[in-house]
Structure 1
């Protein structure tokens, strides 16, 4: 299903925004390969394990398509019970096509229609290249973690003030560090987030992974002792 498209000044379609709902969609295999090219192995869910998530009505997996090839992708969720969203990932596979803006614009428009009201904000896990420098992200320059972090800062994302780890998506129970849990507040004056919201979100988000590392359990336990968590510059 093609949701939307962008055109150049001559009216030629440059990018199509296509939602994937099945691993049988030929574009899914191309997206999964792009993920493997860009992300480290512990960040990529196994191919066959995508079948159920793609059918989840609380999840969108959409790709940017250029001349039949997947050149970008984004996965995001909306949680009506908290009126917050989560961007799981955004991939820009090629420079010079305006993929980043295209994906952000299409995602924002879809979320607005999906929620039916302004959302409180959007979570995202963002790499901290000042702590972890080995990720090459397929050598694609727009995916450089230094560049991405500054772009997301300009968009308004803020870092939640606690040491963050998450369970490996390989399901091996290992803790993955080197990222910050961040939040894009829609209200500019929002300076902190309720700790119980963060805990509820994390427990729900990682429910699919039963094998949680002790470091993650300890992190969540620590959050349960707090009332609020500050939002700091990224």
Structure 2
């Protein structure tokens, strides 16, 4: 299996990846094809695909925010069971992020993720691929060290329609397993940076950010 970075929507592997995303995720979670052009050219956004026998069978997007010394995993897609795709993507991403932090003279604090909470919203369908079942994914992410940040979370729809998307937990995987909380301001700084590309922010998101700005620390809880 190969771990290949995508930097252009003209890359045939990107077309495969986007089709895989559409077959897996709800429509409001998938950025339109043409809107990927600029993000893929952003050096801070790292999009890699797992290629098996010439076909994209998995993908991951993540970024390292050097000024905050944190990363964010945007998505991980496992397109087929039985190939070890999840572990393959996880280990390659981990090595890449450690290298980026090392080049900046830092030990990375950890990585954020938005994690579906099927216990809040009931059944979620993800393309009929068993490894992408939200309960399975949640347990796997818990096993590798993700913890839920203890506040009600919403995010702006990637459709940029001003709608709030709920049913997820904002979570963090600390490099130091003894870490039990994060600064509320760090979360605000990161989310403000992360969603800067979406001008139409829902009021629920603005209210959440305002509350976090007045919250000194946010506890990390088990998923």
Query: Which interval holds the TM-score relative to the shorter structure?
Result: over 0.9
Establish whether residue 61 from structure 1 lines up as the match of residue 47 from structure 2: yes
**Normalized against structure 1, the TM-score is what?**
0.93
Establish whether residue 233 from structure 1 lines up as the match of residue 222 from structure 2: yes
Between the aligned partners of 1:50 and 1:175, the Cα distance in structure 2 is 21
Between the aligned partners of 2:90 and 2:47, the Cα distance in structure 1 is 13
Deviation at 1:121, TM superposition (A): 0.3
Between the aligned partners of 2:13 and 2:51, the Cα distance in structure 1 is 9
Structure 1, unmatched stretches of 5+, are 1-14
Residue number in structure 1 paired with 2:118: 129
Kindly report structure 1 stretches of 4+ aligned residues shifted beyond 6 Å: none
Residue number in structure 1 paired with 2:31: 45
Deviation at 1:115, TM superposition (A): 1.5
Deviation at 1:67, TM superposition (A): 1.1
Residue number in structure 1 paired with 2:107: 118
Establish whether residue 158 from structure 1 lines up as the match of residue 158 from structure 2: no
State the number of aligned residues. Answer: 220
Q: Secondary structure, in 3 states, of the residue corresponding to 1:208?
A: coil
Between the aligned partners of 1:39 and 1:130, the Cα distance in structure 2 is 18
Residue number in structure 1 paired with 2:167: 178
Between the aligned partners of 1:60 and 1:18, the Cα distance in structure 2 is 10
* CA distances 1:161-195 after superposition (whole Å, capped 9, x unpaired): 00000000011110000000000011111000000
Aligned counterpart in structure 1 of residue 134 of structure 2, from 139, 145, 148: 145
Deviation at 1:134, TM superposition (A): 3.6
Deviates more, 1:203-212 or 1:109-118: 109-118
Establish whether residue 26 from structure 1 lines up as the match of residue 12 from structure 2: yes
Q: Secondary structure, in 3 states, of the residue corresponding to 1:45?
A: coil
**Normalized against structure 2, the TM-score is what?**
0.97
Between the aligned partners of 1:87 and 1:121, the Cα distance in structure 2 is 11
Aligned counterpart in structure 2 of residue 197 of structure 1, from 181, 186, 193: 186
Deviation at 1:135, TM superposition (A): 2.1
Between the aligned partners of 2:81 and 2:204, the Cα distance in structure 1 is 37
Between the aligned partners of 1:188 and 1:62, the Cα distance in structure 2 is 27
Residue number in structure 1 paired with 2:203: 214
Structure 2, unmatched stretches of 5+, are none
* CA distances 1:43-68 after superposition (whole Å, capped 9, x unpaired): 00010010000011111000000111
* CA distances 1:8-37 after superposition (whole Å, capped 9, x unpaired): xxxxxxx11000000010000100000000
